[in-house]
């Protein structure tokens, strides 16, 4: 059976999810005076290696973010240090929606 290029590229299986996540950017070391950016997002799918999230704000590739992953039906969230691996803008000119690939930094 022949595998597609996308299947070959993926290291871990993806699992669909619909979980809220809050992400706060970490400024680069040389720009410690920069104000962190906070975004609200929703997880589209997750894997052992990271998350695919949807948001209304763009995140720059290579940016480190601290995510708080909300646990459904529980009053706790899971913190995770992640890095933005890719960002794609979706929708037309009026709809500013972005999809991001986030990689867990420590696992």
Task: Give the domain CATH number at 59.
Answer: 2.40.10.220
Residues 15-65 pLDDT 10s: 999 999 999 999 777 766 778 899 999 999 999 999 999 999 999 999 999
Q: Which two tokens stand for residue 45?
A: 């799918």
Write the pLDDT tens digit of every residue in 67-82. Answer: 999 998 899 999 999 9
Q: Per the structure, how many domains does the chain have?
A: 1
Give the domain range for residue 57. Answer: 5-104
């Amino acid at each position: 059976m022949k595998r597609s290029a996308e299947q070959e590229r993926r290291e871990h299986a993806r699992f669909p999810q619909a979980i809220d996540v809050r992400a706060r950017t970490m400024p680069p070391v040389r720009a410690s005076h920069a104000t962190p950016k906070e975004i609200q997002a929703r997880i589209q799918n997750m894997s052992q290696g990271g998350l695919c999230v949807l948001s209304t704000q763009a995140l720059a590739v290579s940016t480190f973010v601290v995510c708080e992953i909300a646990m459904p039906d529980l009053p706790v969230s899971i913190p995770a240090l992640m890095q933005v691996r890719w960002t794609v803008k979706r929708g037309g000119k009026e709809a500013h929606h972005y999809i991001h690939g986030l990689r867990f930094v420590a696992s």
